[in-house]
Structure 1
Amino acid sequence: MWTNKHRGIRVSQQELLCKNSCGYYGNPAWQGYCSKCWREKGRPPGAQPQDSRPSSDGTPLTFSKFEEKKSTEKGRRIYTMRRLFWGSSSSPKQESEEIHSTALKAYQSLEPGDFPGFLKILRSPPSQRLQSRCTAFLNTMEAYHDLPVQKQSDLVQDFYQSFAEHFSGWSESQVNQVMEHVEKLIMTRLHKWVFCHDSCDDEQKDLTLQRRIRSLNWITAEMLDVPFPERKSGLTGDPFLPAITAIIEVDAKRAPQDKLTCVSKCCHHIFEALAISNTEPANADDFLSALVYVLLKANPPRLHSNMQYVIRFGLPHSLMAGESGYFFTNLSCAVAFIEKLDGRSLNLSPEEFEGYMLRQRAPSAGHRRKQVSKSTQHLLEELKSRQESLDQGMDTLGTQLHQWMETVTAQLDEATAKFTLVQKEMNAQAPHSPKAEEKGRTSPTQTDC
């Protein structure tokens, strides 16, 4: 998939698509097929998809005869109660269809991502049939949680398909929106039963992948040819830190859609970091190399289990097409690249790669020394630029301060002169004091004497 003539990862858009040329995204976990083609490929010839539709109360027909009998009896009791209320066998069916039609109209008014609104509609009386299907399916899956995880995956996917038939007259986008809510409802409940199931080796593969990533923590961004922003851009720290945080958050989510949202958020942060680093839009090679760098730095917990959980129990349209499908396919390619990474992928000789892996060599002696030297040079240039700017600012401030002092002195001199003049005028216009008048009255007497 990747060439070794250049450092970094090289993958074409065509290599991300399904090997069956169906137009959807493939995945290394499905040997290059999309989820639909992979399921069809793994199904025995002539076999039909398992029917997970309920006989009356939502219990799949794939389980025991006891469950079928129990469902039939429950349906018979419900039918009897309806006859008591409606008085005929035809009225309940007509009334049920009308109620179901009303419920479907309520779902069309949902805003994207409004999961609380979905739960409110699902719990309303018109949605009783749909709610019963979900409840019965959840109860049955929890009762049979010891089934192999692949069997559970097939049952969940068949349930998605049969549940979507209730909205067959809608547009694809509307159906997908409702089914995303259904997926979140179902898988939030089933997460503790099916995630990292005992019937598979996900836990062991998680440990293997985690040790593999830890052993590659010496790889630098320069080795992967990941562009970093220039120091003069003003950005401090690792620009990929938000992406690292987002990919770590995947393990904290329970619904496959929520996990995919974290993956999409991580990829968006990567593109934002690349936009700061490049003057041109980031290409697919830069993005995939940066995604590998993020995974090596983050070493996300239970990465393999989380990816398998999304593959087994996520909605097919989320992985086969669209933005989430593209990002998840690149994530799978990045993991596959890390698992097979060797010296040629990093433009290193086998001896150099082995030395790094055995901790006999340090990146600081080669690649990291250049990177540190380059970073130091950028830092010195930045400090010099700041010093020049500071000196220029100080000179400007000194000039402004001198001008201000001259202005203030001139204003004080002017104010003092005006005050002196006003005082003289006030003294000249002021009336004589009482002592002066008394002296003036007594002067003639003294003259006469």
Structure 2
Amino acid sequence: MRESESTMWTDKQRGIRVSQEKLLCKNACGYYGNPAWQGFCSKCWRERARPAAAPRQDTRPSNDGTPPTFSKFEEKKNIEKARRINTMRRLFWGSPSPPKPQEPSERQAALLKAYQSLEPGDFTGFLKILRSPSSQRLQSRCTAFLNTVEAYHDLPIQKQSDLVQDFYQSFAEYFSSLPEAQVTQIMEHVEKLIMTRLHKWVFCHDSCDDEQKDLALQKRIRSLNWVTPQMLNVPYPDKKTSVTGDPFLPAITAIIEMDAKRAPQDKLACVSKCSQHVFEALSAWNSEPANADDFLSGLVYVVLKANPPRLHSNMQYVIRFGLPHSIMAGESGYYFTNLSCAVAFIEKLDGPALSLSPEEFEGYMLGHRAPTALKKRQQVASNTQHLLEELKGRQEKLDQGVGTLNVQLQKWVQAVHSQLDEATTQFALVQKEITAQAELPPAISLSTLDASLQRDDTELLKVTDC
């Protein structure tokens, strides 16, 4: 990293620092810039890029070895491309430039009032109005545009991006009489309608190297898995603070969900959700609100922990096909710009940015060294593994004891059953004897016999005395 870039991105006291001026467009237009546009906003970047991409005739002398027919072939090819683009625009608008609405004023006013009554985020309501008979012209334009772009899906990705952005601008002109906030809401519905269908054709297009850059970025992030919050100067809870789980987990989940969305605004919503969770995590254990430096450091840490799938492709998709106001201004623009800065920081990350010497940084990258916190985690993991092995041995002994106890219990049960059977047999014999005695004739009891004998003896003594 060059000295100027190092001054921009790092600071020994606060870690990563990006001033507000660095986030704004180089043209000083007031909108947010982006590293992907070399610091310009999307509007200024397109104004700079489009003249360079315009067809140019070959004015070189013919003595350079190029066949004279080649320049004519190139000129014909460029004319054919321009004709295709104009054909697409005619299919959509009916003429090279968008015409003024031809509907009667009352009908147009009623239609605009219907669109104006839409609630924010009511995409279903937007589709109902668009499919109504009064909105048939706008629906036909959307359908024609979608069919044409799908038919010409092999055009370079930048051409397709220009066509979509032109479509946004032309479509918004129909609602120019409405307040800007309502036009923005309507165009967000239009973007969702158009890009949900075009996603499979334009995302990670064959004409660009997004897939290769995705793999390179994922490999880069994976090689930096040793970076700790302390190295980035991220305010992180100390040992005395009771924290359950990773406080940045909701932010990590939100940024990973971005790949599953199809509309650019839905992907931006994931970025905004992730950023808000970062602020919440940073503010959870600090008495004062998190500042911009802490936020960017936390966002870098979240990206390193999450390693989001196809991050480069998702960001380029938003840049190429998102509504300009969503990424140039407002909360979503601020968060997206910070995400772009975080990715640029990761791609250029070196030792000084982490307060490490080049040798230490190289050692970490090669796996020869490990941060103190990582060593502690490894030691904890080793101790935990030792405890698990000890617990496993105890469990085996316990299993053996349980087996022995089961055998003894079975023997005891068998002994109880034997004693019960023997007692049952003896009871049956006693019961038989009692039954047999009950069936014999009655006999004189011994007590009656003794009483009778005593009475006879008494009478005998009386006679003798006489």
Q: Same fold (TM over 0.5)?
A: yes
Q: Write the distance in 1 (CA, Å) between the matches of 2:85 and 2:34.
A: 35
**1:21 is paired with a residue of what secondary structure?**
coil
Q: Write the distance in 2 (CA, Å) between the matches of 1:345 and 1:66.
A: 52
What is the CA-CA distance between 1:368 and the residue it aligns to? 3.7
Aligned residues of 1:4 and 1:344 also touching (Cα < 8 A)? no
**2:46 is paired with a residue of what secondary structure?**
helix
Could you list the per-position Cα deviations for residues 294-340 of structure 1 after superposition, in whole angstroms to 9, with x for gaps in the alignment? Answer: 00000000000000000000000001100000000000000000000
Query: Which residue in the other structure is 1:290 paired with?
Result: 298
Q: Write the distance in 2 (CA, Å) between the matches of 1:129 and 1:299.
A: 44
Change in CA separation of 1:369 and 1:153 when aligned onto 2, cut-off 3 Å: same
* Of 209, 229, 233, the match for 1:225: 233
Runs of 4+ in structure 1 deviating by more than 6 angstroms, as ranges, are: 45-48, 64-72, 370-374
Query: Which residue in the other structure is 2:412 paired with?
Result: none
* Of 168, 173, 188, the match for 2:196: 188
Change in CA separation of 1:368 and 1:7 when aligned onto 2, cut-off 3 Å: farther
Change in CA separation of 1:285 and 1:62 when aligned onto 2, cut-off 3 Å: farther
* Of 130, 133, 152, the match for 1:125: 133
Q: Which amino acid aligns with 1:301?
A: P
Q: Write the distance in 1 (CA, Å) between the matches of 2:89 and 2:341.
A: 44
1:9 paired with 2:16, answer: yes
Q: Write the distance in 1 (CA, Å) between the matches of 2:52 and 2:90.
A: 30
**1:63 is paired with a residue of what secondary structure?**
helix
Aligned residues of 1:153 and 1:312 also touching (Cα < 8 A)? yes
Q: Write the distance in 1 (CA, Å) between the matches of 2:87 and 2:49.
A: 29
Q: Write the distance in 1 (CA, Å) between the matches of 2:374 and 2:89.
A: 67
Q: Which amino acid aligns with 1:238?
A: D
* Of 313, 322, 332, the match for 1:305: 313
Query: Which residue in the other structure is 1:353 paired with?
Result: 361
Q: Write the distance in 2 (CA, Å) between the matches of 1:373 and 1:25.
A: 45
**1:116 is paired with a residue of what secondary structure?**
helix
Q: Which amino acid aligns with 1:221?
A: P
Q: Write the distance in 1 (CA, Å) between the matches of 2:158 and 2:338.
A: 24
Q: Write the distance in 2 (CA, Å) between the matches of 1:270 and 1:295.
A: 11
TM-score of the two chains, using structure 2 as the length reference: 0.69
Change in CA separation of 1:326 and 1:70 when aligned onto 2, cut-off 3 Å: closer
1:338 paired with 2:359, answer: no
Aligned residues of 1:25 and 1:326 also touching (Cα < 8 A)? yes
Change in CA separation of 1:94 and 1:122 when aligned onto 2, cut-off 3 Å: closer
Q: Write the distance in 2 (CA, Å) between the matches of 1:261 and 1:46.
A: 32
Alignment root-mean-square deviation, CA: 2.7
What is the CA-CA distance between 1:44 and the residue it aligns to? 1.4
Query: Bigger radius of gyration, 1 or 2?
Result: 2
Q: Which amino acid aligns with 1:314?
A: G
Q: Write the distance in 2 (CA, Å) between the matches of 1:44 and 1:110.
A: 39
Q: Write the distance in 1 (CA, Å) between the matches of 2:157 and 2:291.
A: 38
- Unpaired runs of 5+ residues, structure 1, are 49-60, 76-91, 375-449
Aligned residues of 2:88 and 2:148 also touching (Cα < 8 A)? no
1:37 paired with 2:44, answer: yes
Change in CA separation of 1:64 and 1:257 when aligned onto 2, cut-off 3 Å: closer
Percent identity at matched positions? 76
Aligned residues of 1:6 and 1:347 also touching (Cα < 8 A)? no
- Unpaired runs of 5+ residues, structure 2, are 1-7, 56-81, 96-100, 381-466
**1:44 is paired with a residue of what secondary structure?**
helix
Change in CA separation of 1:150 and 1:16 when aligned onto 2, cut-off 3 Å: same
Query: Which residue in the other structure is 1:136 paired with?
Result: 144
